[in-house]
């Protein structure tokens, strides 16, 4: 990917993933209604970055892009995640965080992904 947030947002959108503007240097959406506004339209994305050139961008998660994000806070959560076996059927990206946790991003290969309840006693 290219070096600027705009060029990266355009490249991601070109892959078919809906993006939205985010607060510079953060993951916080920079607009109200970002869920509905997220788009792959290059003209809209260019307009956002023209109006606020130092913006970051976010990728719409959930069913809109078949991307699921799960924050794993602590060792117990990471052990539970490993026990689910989900990583065997999905593309997984692990992003370590400064607080010691891990953000796990799954690009689902199916239209429905069922995640077991961590409080369940069933295997």
Average pLDDT over residues 14-24: 90
List pLDDT tens digits, range 41-64: 999 999 999 998 888 998 888 777
Q: Is the pLDDT of residue 87 over 90?
A: no
Average pLDDT over residues 4-17: 88
Q: Whole-prediction pTM value?
A: 0.62
Buried b / exposed e over 14-45, threshold 16 CB at 10 Å, is: eeebbbbbbeeeeeebbeeebeebbebeeeeb
Average pLDDT over residues 17-34: 90
- C-alpha torsion 98→59→29→31, nearest 10: 170
Select the more confidently predicted residue: 83 or 104.
83
């Amino acid at each position: 990917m290219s070096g600027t947030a705009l060029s990266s947002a355009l490249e991601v959108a070109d892959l078919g993933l809906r993006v939205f503007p985010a607060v510079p240097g953060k993951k916080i959406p920079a607009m109200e209604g970002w869920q509905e506004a997220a788009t792959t339209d290059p003209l809209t994305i260019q307009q956002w970055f023209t109006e606020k050139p130092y913006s970051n961008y976010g990728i719409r998660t959930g069913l809109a892009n078949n991307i699921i994000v799960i924050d794993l806070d602590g060792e117990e959560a990471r052990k539970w995640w490993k026990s689910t076996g989900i990583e065997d059927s999905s593309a997984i990206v692990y992003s370590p965080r400064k607080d010691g946790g891990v953000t796990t991003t799954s690009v689902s290969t199916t239209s429905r992904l069922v995640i077991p309840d961590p409080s369940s006693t069933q295997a």
